[in-house]
Structure 1
Amino acid sequence: MIAGFEELQKFHKDNSELMAESFSAMSKGMQAISSELSSYSKKSFDEGSAAVEAVLAAGTLDKAFEAQTAFAKSSYEGMVTEMTKLGDLYADMAKEASKPFTGAFAKSGTGK
């Protein structure tokens, strides 16, 4: 009876440690994602402000249209790049958060 209780305590302790490691990895990943989003938001706002100034400073309608088109193109390219970067950050976070469990499954013989 006591041996079963001690095994249960060890099981609970081991799983608690795995969860703590996983949550730590997720926390670090979310911090990296938040930092990246903050940087991108600031950059995007600054570029948008500069584009508005360029459109307003354009002397002709053609130049204003060119400035707007250039901004739209660079904005789209920047967004695609940023989404790729964020996708990589999310994937890395998931890998790091699952590492403790992957190792535990491998040790227990249940992971294939």
Structure 2
Amino acid sequence: MFKVEDFQNYGKEQFETVVASATNVQNGLSAIASAYGDYTKKSYEDTKFFVEKLSGVKSFDKAFEAQTDYAKNAYETFVAESQKITGLYSDLAKQMLKPVEALVAKFAPTPAQ
């Protein structure tokens, strides 16, 4: 027999799942935005340091050396930060799929033993 309490409990369970999922998504997006902000700040500071260093050089060799060091450091920072941000996106995707996995597991047939 159909009970109103069962229907209410099911609705409450689904609502709590949606709220938890939304909170996880919000936290993931916040972490991603923070990582982008940190990378932007570091990139700006590195560029500022490079320009200051470049303005003080007196020879072409030193300018070329400063530019090479800057390019190397910029590339290494870009790769490291890209990997970090990619990991954050991956974690966010996993968090977003957890409710779907739970729903699929709930309706998936159990294997016969």
TM-score of Structure 1 vs Structure 2, range by shorter chain: 0.7 to 0.9
**Structure 1 residues 15-34: Cα deviation after superposition (integer angstroms, max 9, x where no partner):** 33322221111101011111
Aligned residues: 111
- Residue of structure 2 equivalent to 1:25: 24
How far is the alpha carbon of 1:110 from its aligned partner? 6.1
RMSD, matched Cα: 2.5
Paired letter, 2:25: M
Q: Is 1:18–1:101's contact at 8 Å kept on the other side of the alignment?
A: no
Q: Is 1:26–1:96's contact at 8 Å kept on the other side of the alignment?
A: yes
Question: Structure 2: which 5+ residue stretches go unaligned?
Answer: none
Larger helix proportion, structure 1 or 2?
Answer: 1
4+ residue segments displaced more than 4 Å: 4-12
How far is the alpha carbon of 1:14 from its aligned partner? 3.4
- Please give the TM-score of this superposition, normalised by the length of structure 1: 0.82
- Residue of structure 2 equivalent to 1:39: 38
- Please give the TM-score of this superposition, normalised by the length of structure 2: 0.82
Are residues 110 and 77 of structure 1, via their aligned partners in 2, closer, same or farther at CA, if it must alter by over 3 Å?
farther
**Structure 1 residues 72-92: Cα deviation after superposition (integer angstroms, max 9, x where no partner):** 111011101111110000001
Identity of aligned residues (%): 35
